[in-house]
Amino acid sequence: MIISRIMGGLGNQMFQYALGWRLALERDVHLKVDLSWFDRQEKRKFELDQFNLDISVANKDYLRELIPFSDNRLVRGFWRRVDSSLPGNRGFDYHEKQIGHFDPQVLKVGRKKYLDGYWQSEKYFKTYKSQVRSLFTLKDPLSDQDHALAKEMLGNPHSVSVHIRCGDYISQHLIIRGHYICTPQYYKETMLLAREKFGDGTCFYIFSDDPGWCRDNIEFPSHFKIVSNQQRSTAQEMILMSQCQNAIIANSSYSWWGAWLIDNPTKFVLYPEKWFYSHAASDTPAEGWISHQHDTSSDWKYIDIPYAKSRYREKYNRELDLDNPLKFSEKLQWLKIFDRRPIYTTTSDKFAVRQYVADRIGEQYLTQLYGVYRSSKEIDWKSLPNKFVLKANHGSKWNIYCKDKRKLNITEVSRQVDDWMTRNYFYQGRESNYKHISPRIICEEYLEGEKGAALKDYMFYCFNGRVEFIHVDVNRFTDHRRAIFDTDWNLLPFTIYYRLPDEEIIRPTQLEKLISLVGALADGFPFFRVDLFFIGELIYFGELTLCPVSGFPIIRPPEYDRILGEKLILPDEKMTISE
């Protein structure tokens, strides 16, 4: 018995069913589907029943047979991690290793297996291409009007379906964060490529979950038809899409199937070069399809702004006003989107910023630098002191604090820093200042107070080059607390995220000097947070932060979001630049 876990939208469900169908066929066993994922879903529903499929749902008894602790998600997750660490994955639960990458081992499983993954590659069922196509026939046929439209598409060898995914791709920040977004520029360029290939006979048939957005934002050629409407089921829309002879697709499994089901051996299919932000989906595109990387200089309009609005709405339960920003949080978002000076790449780079600091206030305020590396293999662990700090220069909070090198798990640390080197922190919060930093690992001096105590972190908020307030963090690694002061060291009546500490925070003896140094670093910019440490009379630079917590601070009481916003003056002009 093969059980395939079904989840996601229709396109993902088809991939999951197709792999399960193949494995069950080759082993001459029954295929059952697990639909429990939909029990916790409101936005998605099971849709394979729109096709003429012989669907058998696995009940709890069948699930318990293959998956220990199937009724308890937490215990089941723990068991999966244990099971996957055993040689040969001895259990009955087979979990996909990485989405978008073909895993040939799954084709070798036994006669009893539970499949958990997305399996987005035709390689899982390519040898049964014609049979898989015949699986997905409609239970409810197309309308007479759609039959006529399908006949028109089939009769034109230069018909091109264009699938434009909007919906959750441009309205939910968590999905924007993980998926690449095909912008209007992508569709403009790919339609021009198709037009160049097929000439004046090219006709584009537009399929989208938001036709109105398409009309407002995309420049279509002269011969096009917006086909999508609210009368068809999702399966009917996909099958109608597949009646075109060629396709331009989005990075969507639904879009993928609309192109793959086209029964034309010479079809011309264009797909976006990027499928996910975090990693390439090298095995998702089908054989013969052509990738296209569009000009990304205007991506911020269609990705960064929707991301900011979605995340802001979720965070504050109100709409983000970028046209007339008044609150501090709104102005931080405005700066993040519209103020993209190249110098911000330098100030956000924890290695390059050292030269910036040296030039502005002097190198005596920098911590000692032990090394700069491109990978863990370059680190000479023996030469490092007993205490040190490893940092990724291209991210935030990517730090490892070593208090005793003898107790350091070098294997685990190496794995961690090498993982950092594969990541682009820009995609975590759409902060463009991180996007073009060349990744490095830096090793710096470990700072600590008397008797090894953790240092207080002094963070200076500079509005238009002037220190407006200072927050001091204590016990950052245990019971994190925060106090906020004005420049005369009066405690201010608001907080950002953390509660006030129980202890009194003494005014620094060198406060005026600290404020002067910070002003020199922040001069000429609308906003910077400058972090400093000091030990006795020694002052150390920490970092420059352009957009604290990605521009989403929780300020209490909330009226101080507006009060602080009034103090921050935005530039007169937007400084968005080509990326």
CA distance 89 to 92: 8
* Together in a domain, 442 and 469: no
**Which pLDDT band, with edges at 50, 70 and 90, does 578 fall under?**
very low
> What does the pLDDT read at residue 167?
64
* Together in a domain, 469 and 432: no
**Residue 259: which of 393, 123, 122, 413 has the closest Cα?**
122
> What does the pLDDT read at residue 577?
52
- Give me 154's structure tokens: 């089939």
Q: Domain holding 494: CATH number?
A: 3.30.470
CA distance 329 to 363: 33
Mean pLDDT of the residues in the chain: 91
> What does the pLDDT read at residue 72?
62
Mean pLDDT on 561-570: 97
- Give me 170's structure tokens: 């441009």
Mean pLDDT on 179-201: 91
Reduce the DSSP state of residue 184 to 3 states and report it.
Answer: helix
Find the Cα–Cα–Cα–Cα dihedral 281, 286, 291, 297, rounded to 10°. -50
Domain-embedded: residue 310: no
How does 391-403 read in b/e, with b if 16+ C-beta sit within 10 Å?
bbbbbbebebebe
CA distance 220 to 202: 12
**Which pLDDT band, with edges at 50, 70 and 90, does 176 fall under?**
low
Round the CA-based radius of gyration of the chain to a whole number and report it: 28
* Together in a domain, 7 and 90: yes
CA distance 396 to 549: 9
Q: Name the residue with higher pLDDT: 522 or 428.
A: 522
**Residue 494 burial (CB count, 10 A):** 15
Domain-embedded: residue 322: no
pTM of the model: 0.82
CA distance 170 to 132: 31
CA distance 497 to 505: 18
Alpha helices in 129-198 (DSSP H): 129-135, 144-155, 168-171, 173-178, 184-198
Query: For residue 68, what are the domain limits?
Result: 2-133
pLDDT at 512 over 90: yes
**Residue 226: which of 240, 140, 234, 239 has the closest Cα?**
240
* Together in a domain, 332 and 465: yes
* Together in a domain, 264 and 153: yes
Reduce the DSSP state of residue 540 to 3 states and report it.
Answer: strand
Domain-embedded: residue 188: yes
CA distance 545 to 529: 5
* Together in a domain, 128 and 191: no
User: How far is C-alpha 200 from the geometric centre of its chain's CA atoms?
Assistant: 39
> What does the pLDDT read at residue 192?
95
Mean pLDDT highest for which of 208-222, 349-363, 472-486?
Answer: 349-363
Domain-embedded: residue 528: yes
> What does the pLDDT read at residue 472?
93
> What does the pLDDT read at residue 449?
81
Domain-embedded: residue 351: no
Query: Residue 73 burial by CB count (10 A; 0-12/13-18/19+): exposed, middle or buried?
Result: exposed
Q: What is the pLDDT of residues 26-84, one digit of tens each?
A: 999 999 999 999 998 888 999 999 999 999 999 988 888 777 655 666 666 666 666 65
* Together in a domain, 158 and 268: yes
Which of 72, 98, 133 is the last residue before a domain boundary? 133
- Give me 70's structure tokens: 């199937």
Give me the number of domains the chain comprises.
4
> What does the pLDDT read at residue 544?
97
Which of 446, 469, 488 is the last residue before a domain boundary? 446
Which of 70, 98, 133 is the last residue before a domain boundary? 133
Contacts 24+ apart (CB under 8 A), 474-481: 474/501, 474/503, 474/505, 475/501
Query: Residue 414 burial by CB count (10 A; 0-12/13-18/19+): exposed, middle or buried?
Result: middle
Q: Domain holding 215: CATH number?
A: 3.40.50
Strand partners, 208: 164
Q: What is the pLDDT of residues 99-113, one digit of tens each?
A: 999 999 999 999 999
Inter-residue contact 315 to 530 (CB < 8 Å): no
Q: Which of 459-473, 476-490, 557-571 has the lowest mean pLDDT?
A: 476-490
Domain-embedded: residue 323: no
* Together in a domain, 401 and 530: no
Q: Between the CA of residue 453 and those of 145, 388, 407, 480, what are the distances in Å? A: 76, 15, 19, 14
* Together in a domain, 332 and 289: no
**Which pLDDT band, with edges at 50, 70 and 90, does 484 fall under?**
very high
Express as a percent the part of the chain with pLDDT over 90: 75
Beta-sheet pairing, 399-402 with 555-556: unpaired
* Together in a domain, 333 and 475: yes
Reduce the DSSP state of residue 534 to 3 states and report it.
Answer: strand
Q: Between the CA of residue 368 and those of 352, 354, 456, 532, what are the distances in Å? A: 14, 11, 19, 15
* Together in a domain, 334 and 406: no
CA distance 376 to 408: 14
Residue with tokens 């390519």: 126
Inter-residue contact 50 to 234 (CB < 8 Å): yes
SS (H, E, C) 208-245: ECCHHHHHHHCCCCCCEEECCCCCCCHHHHHHHHCCCC
Domain-embedded: residue 357: no
> What does the pLDDT read at residue 65?
78
Q: What is the pLDDT of residues 113-131, one digit of tens each?
A: 999 999 999 999 999 999 9
> What does the pLDDT read at residue 120?
96
**Which pLDDT band, with edges at 50, 70 and 90, does 92 fall under?**
confident
pLDDT at 503 over 90: no
**Residue 177: which of 307, 333, 318, 341 has the closest Cα?**
307
pLDDT at 181 over 70: yes
Beta-sheet pairing, 269-272 with 246-248: parallel
* Together in a domain, 106 and 164: no
**Which pLDDT band, with edges at 50, 70 and 90, does 235 fall under?**
very high
Q: Beta strands of 86-240 (E only): which ranges?
A: 93-95, 113-116, 159-164, 203-208, 224-226
Domain-embedded: residue 210: yes
Q: What is the pLDDT of residues 277-309, one digit of tens each?
A: 766 778 999 999 999 988 888 888 888 999 999
For residue 557, cis peptide bond before it (omega within 30 degrees of 0): yes
